[in-house]
Structure formats: structure tokens, C-alpha cells
Amino acid sequence: MTHQARKSVPPGHVRSADRPTKSSHSGFSGLGIAPGLLDAIDRLKFSEPTPIQRQSIPTSIEGKDLIAIAQTGTGKTLAFAVPMIQRLAQIKGRGLIITPTRELALQIDEALNDVGRSLGLRTTVLIGGAPMAPQRRSLERQPRVIVATPGRLIDHLERRTVSLADVQILVLDEADRMLDMGFAPQINRILAAVPKKRQMMLFSATMPEEILALARREMQVPIHVEVAPSGTAPAKVVQEMFFVEKGAKTQLLKVMLERYLGPVLIFTRTKHGARKLTREVKRMGHSAAEIHSNRSMPQRREALDGFKSGKYRALVATDIASRGIDVSGIELVVNYDLPSNSEDYVHRIGRTARAGLSGRAISFATIDQKKDIRDIERLIRTNIPIMKLPPLPLQRQGELSPKSSRADEPPQRPYSDQRPLKKSTSSRRSSNRVGFRWRKRT
């Protein structure tokens, strides 16, 4: 089944109406792109290639293996979509794109069809949460490009409803995220099922050692393209950090939603937290939806489409969405909970300041998360400004009250080298008396 969702601007692009230029061809015509594809790019009103596109498209069109590192939201999808479509017009076989999340797979398929529809490109999407039968029928129609998540592609391989013996171009998108999510065994099985002689392109925003080892093992003298150091945060994102007691986070979120009136994407660490926080945001008077692994595929699509259209002002999500949401115009990203690893911070805040726009990312941290903040700052190579806690609204009757503390007066350097504070048994008992419930993190 070919997904043909409504058109949206692929990340990292500025429409020609927003940036005066003599011709859309003026920026892309020197990259070796075929005239038919240049016409498609022209119709989509893209004026200038982004740095990652300018550096990677010529190499990929020549059929060379590629490792490309770039900040999120800089147009990586078009950087591999255009060369793949052009090369498939010249050779037999098909292309395979592996990506970590369902949402990202659907967005990649949409971008492929935006560019290749006029050229007769046939694609299919293989993702979990969708029925197998329609996917099997779409595979019988011999699509030239398969976009898949690792788990569902393995399902089809085991049922022998797909063969990868004719794959000539393989793309691993967000490869670091796939390894973080535990997909290494599936990736290895997929690599064993595709021909050894094929073109491979690896795109990511970070480059951990596991990715380098994969590249050394599977790629033939790859060209390395890096338009920003691994882990670099988007330049147009204003970053801020608030130290706040855990029980006062909801009140601080209320203040932020009243201070910034545009679309907001809110990240929590757990699906239970996302579900609970969505209810709280609705009680504040804002339209909101949630995306996490307990939501069905239709529910996730409805939430994302509603967020894009303005039906929902706020979208509350776990890290399943940190690399799977491509929505221009998100004014604010809120890290209600800090992510479990530093790399996810880069991808979370990269959901704003896309397509040449500016944005803001605000993180809530407790005083015992200083080490987490140090790790994030070490990765992005900059200090995140610590903001003074604003006056918080009174809590509604029945809500948990935070401990009284001087949370608005963090240390001079909260991310200094001193160890994170540990709660003593006595303070824990004291906290229980004022309403906190201590339990294991799930």
C-alpha cells in the first residue's frame, strides 16, 4: 500500500515564496540531478539545497557508500531520496530504507512520493501496528522502494512475503536511534539478507562507536560527510533550563503554556506519564493529544495529523516521537522529563526550529539531575542557561503539593563536578508526610 498523505515541506527546506531566488533550479542544477527530478523539485518550490543535500547528493548519485552526519531538521530525507530515485531509474533492483519509527517511515514515504510520483515511482511501507494482508498485497505489486521499520520487515522475511535479494540501494536512517532502541539483531539479519554488493547510505545526527563499527563492517570505503559535529544542537533553538521540584512541574508547564501561545510538543519519559500529562493539559484548557507505544497506529496518525492541522495545540509524546515528527512551526519543545540518554535531547529539541524557522526548547530538571545535564552539555558543547523559576499558580484542591524548597535558587553552577544530591531516609519520610509518593521508576 502506497501512502499518499497530504504534502508537507520536507525538513530543512525553505519554499521559494519565503526566500527570493531567480529559479528553483539555480541551487540544485549543479548537483548532477536529472532534469525530470529537477522539475519535480521545482514544482515543490524548493529554492536552495541544504548543506547536507549539497554535499551528499553528488556522491550518492555516483553510487558510492556514504556516512552523513547532520543536525536533525536539515533535510536528510531528500538527501537520500533524490539519489535513490535517480539511480533506480538507471539500474535494476529496488531500494530499501530502514528507519526506527512508524511515523518517520510514513513521512519518508510521503517525501519519496512528492518527488517521484510524476516519474511513476511505486513505494510501500512496512510498519508494525498495521495489518499484514494489505502490506503483502502491496509487495506483490513489486514496488521499487520499500520503507520499513526493522521489526515488521523481519516479520515479512520470516513469512517469506518479501525477498531482499534484489536490493541495490540500502539506507539506514537514524541508525544511532535504531541501535539505542535495541534493533541491532534485526539490523544484522536484514544486512545478511541483502546482497553484499550494494550501495549503502547511513544517515544520522550522532555518530557513536557502534555506528562506526557497523560502517567498517558493512560499507566499502564510505565517503564521510559531516555538516555539523556529531551531537550539535540546531543553531536557531533557544535553550533554557528550569530547576523545579518534581511535584511542581505541572504548575510550571501551565506558566509556559500561557507565556508561549504557539504549538507545543511536550516530552515525557514514560507512556504512563504522557497519558497522565495529556489529561492535565486538557484540564488547563488546551487541546491536546498523546503519542506513545500504547496507542494504536490509527490513534497515532490522528494525533499527529490533528497536531499538524491545529486541531490540537499540544502534543504529549515519549521518545518514540523524538525522531518521528516533522512538523514545521512548532514554537516550543518542553522536556517535561529529561531524556534517558543525551542523544535524545538533541533530537527532541530538533523538532522545533525546522525549515529555517527559529524555536525554543525548555527543560525541567530536578536538583539531583545535575549529572544528566552535564552529559547533555558535554554532548552539545555548550552550557544551557539556568532560568529563574517564575511564580507558580496555586494548585487545585486535591493535587499533590510539592515540598517547600528554594527550587528557584539553584546553585551557582548546577552542573558542576560535585556529585548529585542524594535523598536521605529521613528526608524521604518527611516528603511522604507532605504528600509525595515514592515508587520505582517504570
Task: Give 137-153 pLDDT, tens digit per residue.
Answer: 999 999 999 999 999 99
What is the dotted CATH code of the domain comprising 237-394?
3.40.50.300
pLDDT, position 324: 60
State residue 161's pLDDT score: 96
pLDDT band at 435; cut points 50, 70, 90: very low
Q: Which CATH number is correct for 25-226, 2.20.28.10, 3.40.50.920, 3.40.50.300, 3.40.50.2300?
A: 3.40.50.300
Range with lowest mean pLDDT among 111-125, 232-246, 308-322, 348-362: 348-362
% of the chain residues with pLDDT over 70:
79
Find the mean pLDDT for residues 151-163: 96
The pTM (predicted TM-score) of the whole model is 0.64
**How does residue 352 score in pLDDT terms, banded at 50, 70 and 90?**
confident
**What is the pLDDT confidence band of residue 258, given thresholds at 50, 70 and 90?**
very high
Q: What is the pLDDT of residues 15-61, one digit of tens each?
A: 333 333 344 445 888 899 999 999 999 888 887 888 899 999 999 99
Bigger pLDDT: 48 or 420?
48
Residue extents of the structural domains in the chain: 25-226, 237-394
Q: Do 237-394 and 25-226 fall under one CATH topology?
A: yes
Whole-angstrom CA distances from 260 to 103, 126, 163, 331, 362 are 26, 38, 50, 8, 11
- Least confident segment among 17-21, 109-113, 305-309: 17-21
Percentage of the residues of the chain whose pLDDT score is greater than 90: 53
Whether pLDDT at 120 is above 50 = yes
Task: Report the side by side order of strands in the sheet with 288-291.
Answer: 288-291, 314-317, 264-267, 332-335, 359-365, 237-243, 386-387
Kindly report, residue by residue over 163-179, the tens digit of the pLDDT. Answer: 999 999 999 998 887 88
pLDDT at 422: 42
Q: Are 290 and 317 in contact (CB under 8 A)?
A: yes
Which residues, 6+ apart, have CB-to-CB distance to 431 below 8 Å? 403, 423, 438
**Does the pLDDT value for residue 396 go beyond 90?**
no
Mutual orientation of helices 35-43 and 76-88 as an angle, nearest 10°? 140
pLDDT of residue 208: 75
Closest CA to 81 of 57, 65, 64: 57
Q: Name beta bridge partners: 67.
A: 202, 224
Say yes or no to pLDDT of 206 above 60. yes
